Amino acid sequence: MALIVQKYGGTSVGSIDRIRNVAKRIKLEREKGHQVIAVISAMGGVTDKLINLAKELSEEPREREMDVLLSSGEQQSIALLSIALNEIGIQAVSATGRQAGIITSGSHTRGRIESIEPRLLKRFLADDLTVIVAGFQGITEDGMIHTLGRGGSDLSAIAVASSVKADLCQILTDVDGVYTADPRVVKKARKLPEISYDELLELASVGTKVMQSRSVEFAKKYGVKFEVKSSLNNNPGTIVTEEHAAMESVVIRGVSIERSQARVTITGIPDHPGMSGQILGALADAEVNIDMIVSNIASDQLARHSFTMHTSDLGRAQSALKPVLAELGGDASIETEAGIGKLSCVGIGMRSHSGVAAKMFSALGKAGINIGMISTSEIKISVTVEEDQIEEAARVVHTAFDLDS
């Protein structure tokens, strides 16, 4: 008998029929003899409806009250799922974020989980009850309601799994697991049986939107092994876990791409201390999200800085940099390019295998794909290419690293 924590998103509980289906899935686990805690989101669409009501009253509704308002959505879904379970003979009880003992800090609408006091959850489990926990919410030390922001229910599930020392945590979602690449782009992409936290983090941060980074970081911090799998079928998903020796035999775990990227390059500015800070500060003030940063000194001792960002940020970046350039003086000039894509290879095996970058660049070269900027981290290599070549680039690299099925 195992203790399983399952997380179901808003789509999975988006209608009365779907709630019934989730109840049946949980019943299957109970019939195998397992104990189940299900952490669930609000019914799909409910949160948006509530936001619209609030926006009718105020353009900028108080965040404290938005937390009170939105957390009611999960309170409804946990009650309904518990009712559905009891109806099919599974003794179930609901628990709000507060009742589950989820203590948060930080600000309203983007609370952080500080700790979990699972006293009540443990009491319910001791009574052999199935427990339905409201995801996405918790309370502060002094009893105020917090929501956890986007992806908060995943975070709740992982935190609950950690606090009750669950044997398994399953994130049930509308994807089948984590793939070596986006199957819509790379037909030969394979589902991974296993991936390390760090690899998923790097893949997530470059656009493989399986889970929010902070949920993966939380799982890594507390050593919670979890499985990403489909809520629509019973296929095995992808286990996300700590890295272990066997994982290193695979050089590259996966390939991901980002489209609609743009580049800004500043040239001809004197390389004095604090200058980068000045430039980046101006971009941050303008709320431009910078991704890659590449800087070097040209032979003329003048610095050359390049940044990438989403195309939609390009205009704002250019306006923000204008006054900075004027201030920097000299022959400073700015050059921009839109319509580029970014390709990343991720794998912890990279550390122990030399020549990974060479292999990647040579594969791209053979396919006639020019590389723009290059940026590397310990387990990731990213390059920019022309956007219209990004899909071909992904396929070429996927093949080069023997990822094809």
98 touching a second copy, by CB under 8 A: yes
103 touching a second copy, by CB under 8 A: no
Q: Which C-beta is closer to a second copy: that of 107 or that of 333?
A: 107
399 touching a second copy, by CB under 8 A: no
78 touching a second copy, by CB under 8 A: yes
Instruction: Give all strands (DSSP E) within 174-253, no chain letters.
Output: 194-196, 226-230, 238-241
Question: What's the Cα-to-Cα distance from 269 to each of 52, 248, 293, 373, rounded to whole Å?
Answer: 48, 43, 16, 19
Minimal distance in Å, beta carbon 99 to a second copy?
Answer: 6
x-marked contacts with a second copy along 110-129 as a string, rule CB under 8 A: ----------x---------
Binding a second copy (rule: CB under 8 A), the pick from 2, 28, 48, 58 is: 58
Return phi, psi of residue 7, to 5°.
-115, 130
78's tokens: 């946990």
183 touching a second copy, by CB under 8 A: no
Binding a second copy (rule: CB under 8 A), the pick from 82, 196, 261, 344 is: 82
Minimal distance in Å, beta carbon 46 to a second copy?
Answer: 10
Minimal distance in Å, beta carbon 89 to a second copy?
Answer: 11
Please give the Cα distance from 288 to 272 (Å, whole number): 23
Q: Which C-beta is closer to a second copy: that of 93 or that of 350?
A: 93
Contact, 254 vs 271, CB < 8 A? Answer: no
Please give the Cα distance from 163 to 140 (Å, whole number): 17
Piece in contact with a second copy (CB under 8 A), picked from 74-82, 152-160, 276-284, 374-382: 74-82
94 touching a second copy, by CB under 8 A: yes
- In the DSSP assignment, the letter for residue 218 is H
Binding a second copy (rule: CB under 8 A), the pick from 2, 28, 53, 297 is: 53
Helical residues (DSSP H) of 88-179, grouped into ranges = 119-126, 152-163
Q: Which C-beta is closer to a second copy: that of 84 or that of 292?
A: 84
Question: What's the Cα-to-Cα distance from 180 to each of 36, 169, 183, rounded to whole Å?
Answer: 30, 22, 8
Contact, 133 vs 160, CB < 8 A? Answer: yes
Q: Which C-beta is closer to a second copy: that of 50 or that of 247?
A: 50
What is the distance, to the nearest Å, from the Cα of residue 19 to the centroid of all Cα atoms in its chain? 25
19 touching a second copy, by CB under 8 A: yes
Binding a second copy (rule: CB under 8 A), the pick from 2, 24, 45, 87 is: 87
> If we measure between CA atoms, which residue out of 304, 286, 285 comes closest to residue 294?
304
Q: According to the 3-state scheme, what is the secondary structure of 273-308?
A: CCHHHHHHHHHHHCCCCCCCEEEEECCCCEEEEEEE
Binding a second copy (rule: CB under 8 A), the pick from 3, 50, 286, 363 is: 50
Helical residues (DSSP H) of 15-126, grouped into ranges = 16-31, 46-57, 63-87, 119-126
Q: Which C-beta is closer to a second copy: that of 74 or that of 387?
A: 74
Minimal distance in Å, beta carbon 217 to a second copy?
Answer: 30
Minimal distance in Å, beta carbon 55 to a second copy?
Answer: 9
Question: What's the Cα-to-Cα distance from 79 to each of 191, 348, 385, rounded to whole Å?
Answer: 35, 43, 50
> If we measure between CA atoms, which residue out of 142, 145, 61, 157 comes closest to residue 108?
145
Piece in contact with a second copy (CB under 8 A), picked from 92-100, 170-178, 256-264, 342-350: 92-100
Return phi, psi of residue 290, to 5°.
-85, 140
For residue 19, the SS3 value is helix
Contact, 383 vs 374, CB < 8 A? Answer: yes
Q: Which C-beta is closer to a second copy: that of 13 or that of 148?
A: 13
68 touching a second copy, by CB under 8 A: yes
Q: What interhelical angle do 197-205 and 213-222 show, nearest 10?
A: 170
Q: Which C-beta is closer to a second copy: that of 78 or that of 175?
A: 78
Q: Which C-beta is closer to a second copy: that of 73 or that of 254?
A: 73
Q: Which C-beta is closer to a second copy: that of 65 or that of 176?
A: 65
Q: Which C-beta is closer to a second copy: that of 87 or that of 335?
A: 87
x-marked contacts with a second copy along 133-172 as a string, rule CB under 8 A: ----------xxx---------------------------
Binding residues vs a second copy (CB under 8 A): 16, 19-20, 50, 53-54, 56-58, 61-62, 64-66, 68-69, 71-73, 75-76, 78-80, 82-84, 86-87, 93-94, 96, 98-99, 120, 143-145
